[in-house]
Amino acid sequence: MQRFSKNSYTLRAVCSHQRSLVLIELRRRKKCRQKKLLKDDCHQKRQEEIRNESSDDKQSANFTETTEEESKAELQSKLESNRLRKLQIKQRQLSEQRERKRQRMLELHERIKATVAQEEHERRLECERARRIRETVTTTEQRVRRLEYSRVYNKRARETETPEQRERKLESRRARYKRVKATETPEERERRLKRIRVRNQRVKETETPEQRMARLEKWSKIL
């Protein structure tokens, strides 16, 4: 009985040890399978990653090629736009230079015309002054002869004219005097009055009493 119990215990111990060994082996194999599965999974994932990377590289290469082409096209368009802009700026500068040159030529032409006109005006004034000097620088005998001729001519005209002619002449003279007074400037009025005073003084110095009475009578009828 004891032997049986001892053998039974020994058997149980052996069985327990064997079972432990079997369990250890099973666990080891399970771990190995798990490691193999994990390794295979990792290898598969790595292969997939490599394939994905290769496809990404191809896509990136294609994208890089496309980007380079787009960059070249964009650079070409920028260069073309810059060339057109520079050409437009140059054309605008040339047009502005031509316009400034034309304006300078017009101004020069206007100055030349103004200078020529001023010289011509001064020459005409000088000729007019010379003519007036030639007309006014006369001898006393010439002035007396001219006044005598005027008196004779006016006396003959008064003797031969009709009352209607005389009235028309006086009316036109009054209208001319009014027109002159209405349109003349103060300087012109002063010059006219000065000429009248000089002429009246000269007439007073040379006329006779009969001529004076006739002159006063004439002006009383005119005014």
pLDDT given at position 113: 87
- Over residues 165-221, the pLDDT tens digits come to 888 888 888 888 888 888 888 888 898 889 888 888 887 888 888 888 887 887 776
Share of the chain above pLDDT 70, in %: 81
7, two tokens: 């053998």
By mean pLDDT, which of 13-22, 68-77, 172-181 is the weakest? 13-22
pLDDT exceeds cutoff 80 at 97: yes
The whole-angstrom separation of Cα 146 and Cα 177 is 24
pTM of the predicted model as reported, rounded to 2 decimal places:
0.28
pLDDT category at 138 given cuts 50, 70, 90 is low
Tabulate helix, strand, coil % of the chain (nearest 5).
Answer: 95, 0, 5
Q: Which amino acid is at 90?
A: K
Average pLDDT, the chain: 79
